[in-house]
């Protein structure tokens, strides 16, 4: 197995462990919403500490349901992943193009038999 394959396998195992361990160890048991987001936890803590707190701003758009909110979050994540993939693809392509141009310039252009006038 090559070095890259070993690293990829190790990273895959780490990601799987990060996903499975909180569920297997029962983290969050005994809570109403065991894996609530940070926003919901902060809101609950603020409401508990200061019940008459008034938020400074209201959301520009409030999704009609939790499913729509989750779908919009997934769409945002997918768009972000697409932008990152595009950036890294362009970066790799430019690097490969520069390497090919440098190799062609260093060794001359093979197959170019045009006579200079």
Per the domain annotation, does 1 fall within a domain? yes
Q: Look up the domain containing 78 and give its range.
A: 61-106
Verify that 69 and 51 share a domain, yes or no.
Answer: no
Rounded to an integer, the average pLDDT of 25-32 is: 71
Q: What is the tally of structural domains in the chain?
A: 2
Confidence at residue 1, expressed as pLDDT on a 0 to 100 scale: 85
Which residues, including other chains, have CB under 8 Å from residue 35's CB and lie 6 or more apart? 22, 28
User: What is the model's pLDDT at position 80?
Assistant: 97
Specify whether the backbone of 36 is left (phi greater than 0), alpha (psi in -120 to 50) or beta. beta
- Taking only the tens place, the pLDDT of each residue in 45-96 is 899 999 898 888 888 988 898 889 889 999 999 999 999 999 999 999 999 9
Q: Which two tokens stand for residue 113?
A: 């038999």
- What is the predicted pLDDT for the residue at 82? 97
């Amino acid at each position: 197995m090559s070095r890259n394959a070993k690293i990829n396998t190790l990273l895959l195992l780490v990601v799987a462990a990060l996903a499975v361990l909180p569920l297997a160890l029962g983290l969050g048991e005994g809570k109403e919403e065991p894996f609530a987001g940070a926003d919901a936890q902060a809101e609950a803590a603020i409401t508990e500490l200061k019940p008459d707190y008034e938020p400074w701003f209201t959301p520009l758009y409030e999704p009609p349901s939790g499913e729509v909110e989750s779908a919009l979050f997934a769409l945002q994540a997918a768009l972000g992943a697409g932008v990152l993939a595009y950036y890294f693809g362009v970066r790799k392509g430019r690097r490969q193009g520069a390497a090919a141009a440098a190799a062609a310039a260093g060794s001359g252009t093979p197959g170019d038999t045009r006579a200079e006038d």
